[in-house]
Structure 1
Amino acid sequence: MGQIYLVRHGQASFGSANYDQLSTLGYEQARLLGQWYANSRQSFQRVVVGGMARHRQTADTCLAELPKPQLADAEWITDEGFAEFDHHEVLRRHCPEAVDAAAFQQLLARHEEPQRALEHLFRAAMQRWMSGWHDDEYTETWPDFRRRCVAALERLDTDSSKQATIVFTSGGVIATLMQHLLGLQDYQVMELSWSLANCAVTKLLQRPGQFTLSYLNNYAHLEWLGQPGAVTYR
């Protein structure tokens, strides 16, 4: 049977002008994952990148650690079906202050725990998006995003019984695919997406026309060297 490894990108530049860039730690997380695969002699016949800069940076940094034989003749594909939803738009529709980065930071700074305040705001923004009551306000609705993610996964369906595919994508995509495979409710997708670690791996087993979950959110490679702070979620 085939294997599909869904990799959430490394830590991005949250709070900066351009979120779609890995942080210094994000690059290190990607290197640790690559070293893990190199040591385990895992080879890949197909590499899929979700089309965002942080996906490509994670892929390039991770796979640079693998010896060439482990990627020999690997097919590289860019598939924007694995791109994340527009979290900036989702947040702005719920909280108009988020349009201006400085004003939004000031809003958060009024709270004793700014990070927790941000989580509450984003959860509410996600609930608004998922409710379906305001679909005309979003470039991509929640049902459209779900369909896009599932369609991207289905494009990986292959008759090859042993092909290994690695996909560099985002947490929202992975959580949504888990909803598809496990029958989760919308609120569970939201909760799951918050628990997926940067550069964690979710593995699927694939037979023609069928995908099953092997493991979810594995980040043992980040704990490998025992470095404090190596595991992040934002």
Structure 2
Amino acid sequence: MSQILLVRHGQANSAARDEAEYDRLSDLGRAQARWLGAHLKGSGERFSHAVSGTLQRQSETLAEMAVAETAPAQDPRLNELEYFTLAQAFEAEHGVAMPQDRPEFLTHLPRMFAAWSRGDISAAPEPFEAFETRVAEVLSDLAAGRGPTIAVTSGGVIGMAIRIALRLDIEAFALMCLSIENTSVHRLQIMPSGLALAQFNACPHLEPQDRRHSRTHL
């Protein structure tokens, strides 16, 4: 059965406060990607199509994985939502400060996504409906493509893909996004009636004892 393998990029610059600063892999992020690539190749995984978004952290993760059998493609529809820009607009319009640490982020993201989905952030860099539409369209194109596909993208895109497959509400969508780890694997089976989630947030390449410190969310 054909499938789409969605992979979140490796750890980026977790100290960043804007889009440009965040868009680069850390040394650990590169290692995470190499470990995942080795695991997939060792497990006999083969992909007839490999694609990433156009963001640096996404394309570099795919390159470090070294699993593409042909030249990797890029598709901007796999690019992440602009979290920092959206959060700045949310703060300016609603007085909700950007989070300073992960505990604050856990409560901030659901609030911001709820406002975004209602159209209550007028300066959002992308309307919620536009983000949902582009993710649905790229999934449809990948599902109609050339056999097993690996797509390196970001947590928001993966969360939206799962929202579409499972018909999740906004709160559940936000919670999904919050749990997605760097270089985690998510499998979508291509069914006659649509996409079915077959695997979520798997990190088998980070399970060895000496790598458990290497699991990250940012």
TM-score (norm 2): 0.88
Quick one: percent identity of the two aligned structures?
27
Structure 1 pair 40–130 and aligned structure 2 pair: CA distance change class (3 A): same
Rounded Cα–Cα distance in structure 2 between residues aligned with 1:26 and 1:51: 17
What's the CA shift string for 1:126-153, capped at 9, x where partnerless?
A: 332122233x322211111001100011
Question: Residue type matched to 1:220 in 2?
Answer: P
Alignment match, 1:171: 155
Rounded Cα–Cα distance in structure 2 between residues aligned with 1:207 and 1:125: 33
1:158 to 133, 144, 148: 144
Q: How far is 1:76 from its partner?
A: 2.4
Contact 2:9 2:183 in 1 (8 A): yes
Is 1:35 equivalent to 2:38 in the alignment? Answer: yes
Larger radius of gyration: 1
Alignment match, 2:197: 213
Contact 1:10 1:58 in 2 (8 A): yes
Q: Secondary structure at the match of 2:143?
A: coil
Alignment match, 1:11: 11
2:119 to 118, 128, 132: 132
Is 1:117 equivalent to 2:104 in the alignment? Answer: yes
Contact 1:159 1:207 in 2 (8 A): no
Q: How far is 1:209 from its partner?
A: 6.6
Contact 1:33 1:221 in 2 (8 A): yes
Q: How far is 1:28 from its partner?
A: 1.0
Question: Residue type matched to 1:14 in 2?
Answer: S
Rounded Cα–Cα distance in structure 2 between residues aligned with 1:25 and 1:167: 20
Which stretches in structure 2 are left out of the alignment for 5+ residues? none
Contact 2:5 2:150 in 1 (8 A): yes
Structure 1 pair 33–130 and aligned structure 2 pair: CA distance change class (3 A): same
Contact 1:223 1:230 in 2 (8 A): no
Rounded Cα–Cα distance in structure 1 between residues aligned with 2:137 and 2:2: 18
Contact 1:48 1:79 in 2 (8 A): yes
Rounded Cα–Cα distance in structure 1 between residues aligned with 2:73 and 2:200: 23
Aligned length: 212
Which stretches in structure 1 are left out of the alignment for 5+ residues? 97-103, 109-113
Structure 1 pair 195–230 and aligned structure 2 pair: CA distance change class (3 A): same
Structure 1 pair 206–121 and aligned structure 2 pair: CA distance change class (3 A): closer
What's the CA shift string for 1:99-158, capped at 9, x where partnerless?
A: xxxxx89x84xxxxx432344334433332122233x32221111100110001111133
Structure 1 pair 118–159 and aligned structure 2 pair: CA distance change class (3 A): closer
Rounded Cα–Cα distance in structure 2 between residues aligned with 1:182 and 1:118: 24
